[in-house]
Chains A and B, each alone.
Chain A
Amino acid sequence: MGLEIATTKLEDAANWGRKFSLFTYPFVTACCGMEFMSVAAPKYDIARFGAEFPRFSPRQSDLLMVVGTITERQGPILKRVYDQMAEPKWVIAFGVCASTGGFYQNYSAMPGADQVIPVDVYIPGCPPRPEQVLDALMLLMKRVQDGRGHSQVRHKREQLARHGEGT
């Protein structure tokens, strides 16, 4: 019992650290990228929330920002980038195209990045305003703290399964 409380507290502390040091990987494919630049630039300044540093390497980042339209041809690339990221990791779908495909209903556009990878927070808008992005980031931070991100839940479930096998 005491051990459980200790590990829970430890997890809380780790999540507190994680939510204030999100390293973003901007997967920018379309015009939403301009809004992403605005979010990252001094006026709105995503750095205020600790998600300061865009790392253009999936292995060094834990927040995948899917910014823009995903085509069917890009699906395998997006999945590969996601798979390369180290656990725990989170995904934000930036704009309607990344969330649902937006106004593209045709042979080439994928109806949302969540067809390929699990998405934690969706941002509507075409493109979304920077305030919306910061709002989404705060929602994600809450999710990180509570341990409700897709990869966190998956990790917990795997741990439980392992524990169940052990006993």
Chain B
Amino acid sequence: MARNVLDALTAKFGGAILETSSAYGDDVAVVKRESLLDVAGFLKSDPAMAFDLPCYCTCVDYLGMEMLTVSPTTPLAVPSIPSALPPEAPRYAMVYELRSIKHRHRVRLKVPLHDNDLKLPTLSGLWAAFNWLERETYDMYGVAFEGHPDLRRIFMYDEFIGHPLRKDYPKERRQPLVRREWTDE
């Protein structure tokens, strides 16, 4: 639909845009982490872009799966087995969904991230709504946002250890704060 956003991005940033795709009305650009701030700043301030509404940001853990950097145009492939993946394949993808109310177009940015280097610059300086969403992403996935004004847990309690939405967090591991003594009746 709105390929022109993706075209403008590739024309302006070239190699920083690893991949683009456009399917079912979803325009996706895979962006290098180093140029995320530049790309986001351009999307916000350029009059032809004018992305003024940050819809959401989140993270995807592709542990044991091939990363789907583009929207599939064919039915979803069966996830490949973990051993078949190269060890240096990025495990996480940070996802940003932006919308422009003025131009009525939207774009999705994906930033591949490696397990041992899970950090990227914050976008809360550009869109204040990303402040809490990035805190949530930090809470659930442990992504460190550099330059975030207040990077604390937002849902889980401070005593909680680990990041529960990572694929390698055991799904039923609880970390209780308080339990009763069952001997009192």
Contact = CB atoms under 8 A, between A and B. Distances in A.
B117 interface: no
Interface stretch (B69-77, B106-114, B169-177): B169-177
Interface string B160-185: 00001000010111111111100011
A117 B180 contact: yes
B167 to A, nearest CB: 13
Interface stretch (A19-27, A30-38, A106-114, A127-135): A106-114
Contact of A73 (B173, B177, B185): B177
Contacts of B184: 118, 154
Contacts of B185: 118, 150, 153-154
B157 interface: yes
B164 A107 contact: yes
Majority secondary structure of chain B interface residues (helix, strand, loop or mixed): loop
Nearest to B172: A105
Nearest to B176: A72
Contacts, number: 50
Contact of A118 (B164, B174, B175, B180): B180
A78 to B, nearest CB: 9
A107 B169 CA distance: 9
Given A72-B157, A118-B184, A153-B185, A105 B171 contact: yes
A73 to B, nearest CB: 5
A88 interface: no
Q: Name which of A72, A79, A118 has the most chain B CB atoms within 10 A of its CB.
A: A72
A159 interface: no
Nearest to A114: B180
Given A73-B156, A118-B185, A154-B185, A106 B171 contact: yes
A146 to B, nearest CB: 15
Contacts of B176: 72, 75, 110, 115
Interface of B: 155-157, 164, 169, 171-180, 184-185
22 contacts: A72-B177, A73-B155, A73-B156, A73-B177, A75-B179, A76-B177, A79-B180, A105-B171, A106-B164, A106-B172, A107-B171, A110-B174, A111-B174, A115-B176, A115-B179, A117-B180, A118-B180, A118-B184, A118-B185, A150-B185, A153-B185, A154-B185
Interface of A: 72-73, 75-76, 79, 105-108, 110-111, 114-118, 150, 153-154
